[in-house]
Every structure is written in C-alpha cells, then in structure tokens.
Structure 1
Amino acid sequence: MSRPWIAIAAVLGVGGIVAGSYLLVDAVADSRAPRQSTAAVAPTATGPVPPEPTPTVRAADPGDRAASDLVRRLGPEPGGPFGARITSGSAQVALTFDDGPDPRYTPQVLALLRRQQVRATFCVVGVNVRAHPELVRAIADDGHTLCNHSWSHDVRLGRRSPAAIMADLTRTNRAIQAAAPGVEIGYFRQPGGAWTRAVVAVAGRLGMTSLHWAVDPRDWTRPGSGTISRVVTSGVRPGSIVLLHDAGGDRRETVKALHPMMTSLRQRFSLSALPAGNGRSVTP
C-alpha cells in the first residue's frame, strides 16, 4: 500500500479503506475502458436529440472485467458503492438483465419470465433502445421495470463531467420514454459497476436510484448454464439483486440457465421486479 493510502486509512479507518477501494474501481475502469465494439447497431431516429456518430454496443471487454473483478473481490459496502442499492428493500429477490434490448435474446428471456410468471428489471442501453423500441414496449407491457444503463455502455461515464453525465442519462431516458410513453424510470445502473460519487449524484438529480447488485454469476464470461444457475441459486438471500445479461454478446447460456434457476429460486423466494415508481424520473 502506498503512503497516501496509509495516511487515508489512518484518518478515516475502515470506512476510508472501503471508499478508497471503490475509487480504485474507477481508476481501473478508466485505464482499461472499452475501445470499440465488434457489433454495430443500426441507427434509427428517436426524437429531438443532436446528431452524432452512432455508438456501438459491445460484448464484455477488459475494462468491464477489471471493474467487475475488483468489485467482486472487495465485496459491496453494506449500503452499496457510493450509496448504490444492492438489495430489493424487501424479502423479494430481484432478477435484473443488462445491456439490452437484443432482438435474439430479449424475446426469449421475456417468454421464459412470462411462462414462470416472474417479473424482472431490465437495464437498457440507449443505442439498443433506439434500434429496437418495440422490445422496450414489450418489456413494459409485460409489467417489467425499466432501468437506465447509459447511452452506449460507457464504463468511464462516471469519470466524465457532471454535464456530460447528465446529457448521457437524459438522452437515454428520452429514448426509453419515446419507446414506451409514460413509463417510469426509477433506476440507473453504471456500466461495469464502475461507480463514482458524480454519477450517483447526477442519477439522483434525475430522480433515479443507483442500482448495484448482490449476486453476480458473471454470465458474460459464458461459464456454462449449469454454473450460472448454481452460482445464483446458492448465492441468493432474501432481498438479493441478481445481475444477469440479455445482450452484449452470446447469451445462449444465460437463457438456458433461466428456467432451472427460476424454478429453484421460486421454491424458496418470491421473485419480483423492483418497483418502477421507486424514483421520479426527470427529463429536462
């Protein structure tokens, strides 16, 4: 440990060490941020937003791995990094799906949830919302909760200026509300879990609760459907928020894991979407 960190620990105690550790997540994410996607998303028009080159959504990359690995090793703070939520706030377990919507996997996930009569929370990426607004409407129509997951899955978003963060989150909210008019957007999830105080603060200004997680089977690494199901079912406790993905790469193993996973979980827990009205989404 370097001398500055020793000094911080001496002054702030354990709380300072934990807070300092989460700052390392930002540093790692900033140094290993994603470069470029391998899969482009077709652009479509969605309302009064300034024209710009269409970003792309990519599969998980080293920037995500570094942030995710460090968060996993440290474990979340009781209140979550920088106050981000890590529990549902009740005994109910919340399944969350990141990086969509995706035209191949999101409909399969929705069908499985419908069959099991389970509602979940979908953390959607703006460029995918713009490309597939019909899937956002399908998510909302099935009673699931929508969460802002940034415009283009920028792991470094929290390191940008408050104005840049505000523009990104606002643009994403507008796209979601254009696709599903009247929907409430009560949550924001920072890509890669690379939280900063700035991004939590801006999300709060827009009426969104910052949403972390408690159980992460790292399904984006494609460990196999059996491993995904086993990690989730063994790790879940009352109130757990589970991190899964319905886009951003090959999600066949996640889809395959869903049925046995939900069947097992429903024997012990109530599964529910996070309440959509938890926050008060504001679109300047």
Structure 2
Amino acid sequence: MRSRALLAHLLGLLLVVTGCGGGRPDTTVAPAPSATLSPAPPPPAPKPTRVVRPKPPLRALPAKLPAGLKRTTGVRAVALTFDDGPDPAWTPKVLDRLRAAKVSATFCVVGTQVRRHPELVRRIVREGHQLCNHSWNHDLDLARRPAAQIRADLVRTDRAIRAAVPDAKVPFYRQPGGRWTPEVVAVAKQLGMRSLHWTVDPRDWARPTAPAIEKRVHRAARPGAIVLLHDGGGNRAATLAACRRLIADLSGRYGVAQLR
C-alpha cells in the first residue's frame, strides 16, 4: 500500500511539472490581431486650367481732334443737334418746340434708346428731322477699342435705327463725349457716315439753368456753328426751357438750317 501511495504521489508531481494537469492556468498571451487599415483616398482630380486671354489695351486718345470731322455747317446758318435720345419724356417736347419754331434739327440717337422707343425715331423722321448714329450705349471708351469692336457697335446701332425706320437715312455719326480717334473716323466713313462734331457746347449735360444755357450759346455762336444740346440722358427741363429764346436768337442772327 505504501508503495502504491508513493508511486501516485510521484506521478502527481510529474504532471504538475510538465503542465499536463488542469490545475495551472495557461498564461500564454495570444498575439493581438493586426489592425486593418482602410486604403488612402485618391488625390483630387486637378481642376481644368482656364485660359484667360488678356484684353487688348485701350488705345490712347490723340492730343487733338483728328482730321475728317464735320465741325461747321459750311454756310452762314447754324445747326441744332440733340444727343442721347430718344427719350419718352423730353424728345416729344423738343419736337413740339422745333415744330412751333419751324426749324429742323439733327438727332444723334443711342441704339439702346432706339430699341426701346422706335415710335419716337419714326416721329423724328416723319417731321423732317435728321438722324445721326450716336453708338449703341454711349460707351465713352468706344474710340479706344479695337476697330472691329467700333464697327460692330456702329453697325448694331444702324440696324436698330433701320428696324424702326427701314428706309431711314443716317448720314452722320457722333462719337460719345467727342472722344475721337482716326480709327473711329475711318470706320464711320467705311459705313457711309460722316463724323459729326460741334462748335458750341453750352454744357447742358451738366444741368445748368436755362438762362445759363441761353447765354453760353449766344456768346459762342458764330456763322456756321453746330450747337450741341441734349434731349436724352436725364432731366432736360432746362434745355427745353432754353430752346424757345435760344432758337429765336440764332434764327434772327444767322438762321437755323439742317445739316448737309
């Protein structure tokens, strides 16, 4: 019996040493699972390069007026010109005043206004007055732009005039602000128009009083003068009020006639 007990004791010790028994916990640490990395997002597609073409530089204005401008009537009588219309508030009143005085004038019309008020263009022609192309939208830098742009502007305005009055004659072109260049004069001539300037500018565009307009015209007028006035571009009450005495003064001194 003692031999058997001793043998069992030795066998137990052997199991403990070799770890085959169930009494000792397994302390082996399992390796941590490797982290799963998501793929990096692709880089953003490059934006298409926008080609920006530089605009051509604006042409410098000449130091003096170029040749080829019509600056006098060529006769003793003076001529009246009205710019920046037709205007629904003032052009009809100016036309009434001219009809009462029995004189004719030249209306330098802006294309955008012609498109809005074609009936006024028809009245201007119907009452015996003359038409003058005054550009599409009174761009003061028009003369400094490339010749192709100048031509397109004048042609567009001419088409608007002829849409209102198909058989209208447009013998003249007037540059906004009087900012002439030889290129403008050349383009107008190619389109069958003479470049119309002026002799007398009472600066009615700055809205002085009617007596001031009358006085400026009276002092500056000479035989053959071309007088610059406005029937569009804003409030022309002073210009309208000045017309009665202004026309009477010019008619008595020199006569008022249509441009030729």
- Please classify the TM superposition score into its range, dividing by the shorter chain length: 0.7 to 0.9
Match of 2:62 among 19, 23, 27: 23
Instruction: Answer whether contact 1:82 1:196 (CA < 8 A) is retained.
Output: no
Residue of structure 2 equivalent to 1:164: 149
Residue of structure 2 equivalent to 1:70: none
Structure 2 residue 252 is matched with structure 1 residue 267: yes
Instruction: Answer whether contact 2:61 2:144 (CA < 8 A) is retained.
Output: no
User: For residues 16-67 of structure 1, what are the alpha-carbon distances to aligned partners after superposition, in whole Å with 9 as ceiling and x for unaligned?
Assistant: xxxxx9624xxxxxxxxxxxxxxxxxxxxxxxxxxxxxxxxxxxxxxxxxxx
Instruction: Answer whether contact 2:72 2:225 (CA < 8 A) is retained.
Output: yes
Residue of structure 1 equivalent to 2:161: 176
Matched residues in 2 for 1:154 and 1:182: separation? 26
TM-score after normalising by structure 2: 0.75
Matched residues in 2 for 1:177 and 1:94: separation? 24
Residue of structure 2 equivalent to 1:147: 132
Matched residues in 1 for 2:244 and 2:117: separation? 25
Matched residues in 1 for 2:111 and 2:74: separation? 27
Instruction: Answer whether contact 2:143 2:183 (CA < 8 A) is retained.
Output: yes
Instruction: Answer whether contact 2:110 2:136 (CA < 8 A) is retained.
Output: yes
Deviation at 1:271, TM superposition (A): 0.5
Letter of the 2:158 counterpart: N
Residue of structure 1 equivalent to 2:3: none
Instruction: Answer whether contact 1:22 1:81 (CA < 8 A) is retained.
Output: no
Deviation at 1:237, TM superposition (A): 0.8
Deviation at 1:144, TM superposition (A): 0.5
Match of 1:122 among 96, 104, 107: 107
Residue of structure 2 equivalent to 1:220: 205
Instruction: Answer whether contact 1:155 1:192 (CA < 8 A) is retained.
Output: yes
Q: Which runs of 4+ in 1 moved over 3 A?
A: none
Deviation at 1:81, TM superposition (A): 3.5
Q: Give 5+ residue unaligned stretches, structure 1.
A: 1-20, 25-76, 276-284
Match of 2:188 among 167, 187, 203: 203
Two-structure CA RMSD over aligned residues (Å): 1.4
Structure 2 residue 90 is matched with structure 1 residue 105: yes
Q: Would you tell me which structure has more helix in proportion to its own residues? A: 1
Deviation at 1:211, TM superposition (A): 0.5
Matched residues in 2 for 1:88 and 1:110: separation? 21
Indicate the structure (1 or 2) with the bigger Cα radius of gyration: 2
Q: Give 5+ residue unaligned stretches, structure 2.
A: 1-59
Instruction: Answer whether contact 1:121 1:273 (CA < 8 A) is retained.
Output: yes
Instruction: Answer whether contact 1:82 1:195 (CA < 8 A) is retained.
Output: no
TM-score after normalising by structure 1: 0.69
User: For residues 97-123 of structure 1, what are the alpha-carbon distances to aligned partners after superposition, in whole Å with 9 as ceiling and x for unaligned?
Assistant: 000000000000000000000100000
Matched residues in 1 for 2:180 and 2:201: separation? 16
Instruction: Answer whether contact 1:88 1:239 (CA < 8 A) is retained.
Output: yes
Deviation at 1:85, TM superposition (A): 1.1
Match of 2:175 among 190, 193, 213: 190
Amino-acid identity (%): 55
Deviation at 1:197, TM superposition (A): 0.9
Residue of structure 1 equivalent to 2:42: none
Matched residues in 2 for 1:88 and 1:267: separation? 17
Matched residues in 2 for 1:82 and 1:266: separation? 30
User: For residues 145-203 of structure 1, what are the alpha-carbon distances to aligned partners after superposition, in whole Å with 9 as ceiling and x for unaligned?
Assistant: 10000000001111111111111000101111111121111100000111011111100
Matched residues in 1 for 2:144 and 2:223: separation? 33
What SS is found at the alignment partner of 2:249? Answer: helix
What SS is found at the alignment partner of 1:82? Answer: coil
Instruction: Answer whether contact 2:80 2:229 (CA < 8 A) is retained.
Output: yes
Deviation at 1:222, TM superposition (A): 1.0
Which stretch of the first structure deviates more once superposed, 180-189 or 97-106? Answer: 180-189
Structure 2 residue 216 is matched with structure 1 residue 231: yes
Letter of the 2:169 counterpart: E
